[in-house]
Amino acid sequence: MSTNITLLVVMGVLFAVGIYLLLERSLTRVLLGIVVLGNGVNLLILTAGGRRGQAPLYQDGLAAEAYTDPLPQALILTAIVITFAVTAFMLGIIYRSWVISRADVVADDDEDLRVSQQSTFDFEEDSPVPEDTTEFEGEDSAPAGNHPEKGPRA
């Protein structure tokens, strides 16, 4: 299978730029990254179709090998439509995020922060249980002189 080296280089650049943008914190840049990546993938599929040939419309007497492979083009068409829909939705989300918080960055998750900051101490489960040294009610449960420092209160 012969491939077009220019297309390969362009594809590589698109992927590099797209991934760089995708890793940004600003949502608009993330969106641009997705758009650029999507185009990179489209080029990849186009390249996968093999070398250029006649338009895939039936002509008498033309060998099957002379046509361009039409399937990748159909796949790309679908992929373009899908990227278009996702882009439109992302723009909607970004605008909404801007309306709500005047911010265009990926926000932290409050609950995540809370869980990461919570102590491992659980009042009900981890409180020291009062040490019971006698089974008889009414007796002093901690006899004098017997490890006074082991009291239940911390």
Phi and psi torsions of 136, nearest 5°? -95, 130
CB nearer to another protein: give 48 or 66: 48
Task: Rule CB under 8 A: say whether 100 interacts with another protein.
Answer: yes
- Residues 6 or more apart whose CB falls under 8 angstroms from that of 67 comprise 53, 54, 55, 56
Kindly identify the residues of this chain, within the stretch 111-150, that bind another protein according to CB under 8 A.
111-112, 115, 118, 124
Judging by beta carbons within 10 Å of its beta carbon (0-12, 13-18, 19+), is residue 18 exposed, middle or buried? buried
Among 10, 22, 32, 142, indicate the residue that binds another protein (CB under 8 A): 22
We find the least distance from the C-beta atom of residue 82 to another protein, in angstroms, to be: 5
Pairwise CA distance, residues 34 & 31, whole Å: 5
Task: Rule CB under 8 A: choose which of 9, 16, 106, 113 binds another protein.
Answer: 106
Sequence-separated (6 or more) residues with CB below 8 Å from residue 56: 67, 68, 69, 70, 73
Q: Which residues bind another protein (CB under 8 A)?
A: 1, 22, 27, 30, 34, 37-38, 41, 44-45, 47-49, 71-72, 75, 78-79, 82, 85-86, 89-90, 93, 96-97, 100-101, 106-107, 109, 111-112, 115, 118, 124
